[in-house]
Amino acid sequence: MAALRAVLLVLCLGCAAAAVPLVIWHGMGDSCCNPQSMGYIKKIVENKIPGIYVLSLKIGSNLIQDMENSFFMNVNDQVREVCSQLAKDPHLKGGYNAMGFSQGGQFLRAVAQRCPSPPMLNLISVGGQHQGSVYGFPRCPGESSHICDWIRKTLDLGAYTQAVQEHLVQAEYWHDPLKEEDYRKNSIFLADINQERGINETYKKNLMALNKFVMVKFLNDTMVDPPISEWFGFYKSGQAKETIPLKETSLYKEDRLGLQEMDKAGKLVFLGVKGDHLHFSEEWFYTTILPFLQ
């Protein structure tokens, strides 16, 4: 009987070890462990995938700093901090899945492109603004409206000035279709990871190493402008009315990130869900997203 228990214990441990770890990065104005957002996601994943290790990223020493840093900490510094966290975490050394919400989706893409060790296996971007967004900054989440009022004014005054780029997260993925040259020249984050100033072959190679790159677009999104940015589309250059899908962008046609090759290999997954920004049901999450984590 003791021998049987030992065998069952080994099998159980093997099952737990087989669950691929998950790394989560929250969005603007949120924190790692909010019980109504990331804490809730962590809980339901753990309930559905027994034995899984879930790391919900915290940038800063406490939840207040984590929330504030989602507005005011240079994104490149945040990505470096996360890469360091992941490299030091023994649970992740064999690889992990990543799931980012809103701006956390594009930040985790930067992690995939810049930090291949430990390896990211699948990337799920839930409402991430991959061609830049919040053009016009239409609204702001939760109780952060006073911060967002200030951010709107700051962005309108000079989104591409060095001071604003260095200290305001949303400026770093602010993509003004009426000022494309300013964006390419002065964006210190998005223009870099989207290969706007030249081709970094390492970025391309690392992103193409993903098994799947899943992009969720919210079909009634009133926060991300344009919503098609969540699928790598954007406005036609020089105007802010007509949009084009990923396949019509120079990023895809020139295959600067390897997205065309990934698409042909079946690695890109485009999902649409009815609802406003980050509004989805638990049932949708279970049936649509969970399979990519198992």
Our answer to whether residue 263 is catalytic in this structure is no
pLDDT at 284: 96
Backbone angles phi, psi at 91, to 5 degrees: -70, -20
Using 50, 70 and 90 to split pLDDT, how confident is the model at 139?
low
Instruction: Please state the pTM of the whole predicted model.
Output: 0.90
Looking at the predicted structure, is the pLDDT value of residue 187 above 70?
Answer: yes
Cα–Cα distances in angstroms (integers) from residue 98 to residues 40, 82, 132, 227, 293, in the given order: 16, 12, 20, 21, 9
Question: Of 26, 130, 175, 277, which residue is the catalytic one?
Answer: 277
CB 37 within 8 A of CB 30: yes
Question: Of 70, 102, 133, 187, which residue is the catalytic one?
Answer: 102
Architecture of the domain made up of 22-133+196-292: 3-Layer(aba) Sandwich (3.40)
pLDDT at 8: 43
pLDDT at 79: 98
Question: Of 30, 66, 192, 221, which residue is the catalytic one?
Answer: 221
Our answer to whether residue 277 is catalytic in this structure is yes
Number of CB atoms found within 10 A of residue 220's CB = 11
Which residue shows structure tokens 């790598």? 232
Counting residues of the chain whose pLDDT is more than 90, the rounded percentage is 78
Q: Where are the domains of the chain?
A: 22-133+196-292
Residues 218-253 have pLDDT tens digits of 999 988 889 999 999 999 888 888 999 999 999 999
Our answer to whether residue 102 is catalytic in this structure is yes
